Amino acid sequence: MTTDVHGESGLRKATLTDQDLVEASWDYCRIHALAVTDDEGPPENSILDYREDDDLDPTAPSALELHLDLDYIVRRIDPGPMRQVHFWVAPATLIFHNVWDIVGSLRSICMPFELKGLRQEGRSRSSEPCWHLEGRDLDLMFQASSYTLYLRQPPRYGSRVLRMAERGGISFDPKPFA
């Protein structure tokens, strides 16, 4: 028996992974920020021999991660004709792990990005999943081993986009609220 972490919205869990792709909905999720990060490099005072970037094995796993700060729509409430649609929305961090071969376009810096879909496009020659992230003024394809979505706060009932004060500003924090 599965218990909901937020009964009113019907949210079952505060952390979703690529294993939950079928049940996850990405339509109209507002993206507030995105970043590509690398590991922090070798630890200080390390006795290990680190290579220069030119010496790295191109077949080794990538340390890059793609981070998105978004308003994740947990549930849409459609009351019927001529009535306003409401949503259960939570600020969330979406992280793709071991990312490489990022191609695509970001076509606007004037309008906010909104997701329309996230789907797995099959597997690459290295047997890693290929992902397609598409939205308004956004179309990215890349390879990544997996993703994790962390809902940072309980869902709020109202419009589909949270105000910055409600969501706690921009954040890539990978900690779920429950």
Is 73 within a domain?
A: yes
Q: Domain range holding 106?
A: 15-38+59-164
b/e burial code for range 111-140 (CB count within 10 A of at least 16 → b): eebbbeebeeeeeeeeebbebebebbebeb
Could you tell me if 144 and 96 are in contact, meaning their C-beta atoms sit under 8 angstroms apart? Answer: yes
DSSP E strands in the chain: the ranges are: 15-17, 30-37, 65-77, 86-97, 100-106, 113-123, 129-136, 138-143, 146-151, 156-158
Residue 68 within any structural domain of the chain: yes
Residue 54 lies in a domain: no
The pTM for the full model equals: 0.84
Per-residue pLDDT of the chain (178 residues; tens, 9 = 90+): 457 899 999 999 999 999 998 889 999 999 999 999 986 655 566 555 545 555 555 555 578 999 999 999 999 998 877 788 999 999 999 999 999 899 999 887 777 899 999 999 877 666 778 999 999 899 999 999 999 999 999 999 999 999 999 999 999 999 999 9
Q: Is 47 within the bounds of a domain?
A: no
Distance CA 13, CA 9 (A): 11
Please report whether residue 43 resides in a domain.
Answer: no
In the chain, the number of structural domains is 1
